[in-house]
Amino acid sequence: MTMVSSTIDKASSTVSPIDTADLCHFYKKWYKIMWLIRKFEDKAAQLYGQQKIRGFCHLYTGQEACIAGAVTALRQGDKYITAYRDHAHPLALGSCPDHVMAELYGKATGVSKGYGGSMHIFDKSCHFLGGHGIVGGQVPLGVGIAFAEQYKKTGYLCITYMGDGAVRQGAIHEAFNLAMLYRLPIIFVIENNGYAMGTSVERSSNVTELYRLGSSYGMDAARVDGLSVEAVHCAVEESAIKARNGIPSLLELVTYRYKGHSMSDPAGYRTKKEVEAYKEQDPILKLKALILGKKVADTTTLEAIECKVKDQIAQAVAFAETSPFPDPATAYHYVYKQIDYPFLQY
Residues 26-54 pLDDT 10s: 999 999 999 999 999 999 999 999 999 99
What's the rounded Cα separation, in Å, for the pair 36 and 44?
12
Q: How many domains does the chain have?
A: 1
Confidence of residue 4 (pLDDT cuts 50, 70, 90): very low
What's the rounded Cα separation, in Å, for the pair 240 and 255?
21
Does residue 207 belong to any structural domain of this protein? yes
Quick check: 280 and 288 in contact, CB under 8 A? no
| pLDDT mean across residues, the chain | 91
Residue 303, classified by CB atoms within 10 Å of its CB into exposed (0-12), middle (13-18) or buried (19+), is exposed
What's the rounded Cα separation, in Å, for the pair 247 and 167?
20
Range of lowest pLDDT (72-86, 152-166, 242-256, 332-346): 332-346
Quick check: 128 and 95 in contact, CB under 8 A? yes
Does residue 342 belong to any structural domain of this protein? no
**What's the rounded mean pLDDT across residues 109-125?**
96
Query: Is residue 15 pLDDT above 50, yes or no?
Result: no
Does residue 266 belong to any structural domain of this protein? yes
Does residue 319 belong to any structural domain of this protein? yes
**CATH label of the domain that carries residue 103:** 3.40.50.970
Does residue 43 belong to any structural domain of this protein? yes
Does residue 337 belong to any structural domain of this protein? no
Does residue 340 belong to any structural domain of this protein? no
Confidence of residue 136 (pLDDT cuts 50, 70, 90): very high
Q: What is the pLDDT of residues 282-340, one digit of tens each?
A: 999 999 999 999 999 999 999 999 999 999 999 999 999 999 999 998 887 888 777 67
Residue spans of alpha helices (H) in the chain: 23-49, 65-71, 88-93, 97-104, 138-152, 170-181, 201-204, 229-243, 272-279, 283-293, 299-322
Which residue segment(s) compose the domain that 56 sits in? Answer: 4-330
Quick check: 284 and 31 in contact, CB under 8 A? yes
Tell me the pTM: 0.91
pLDDT at 279: 92
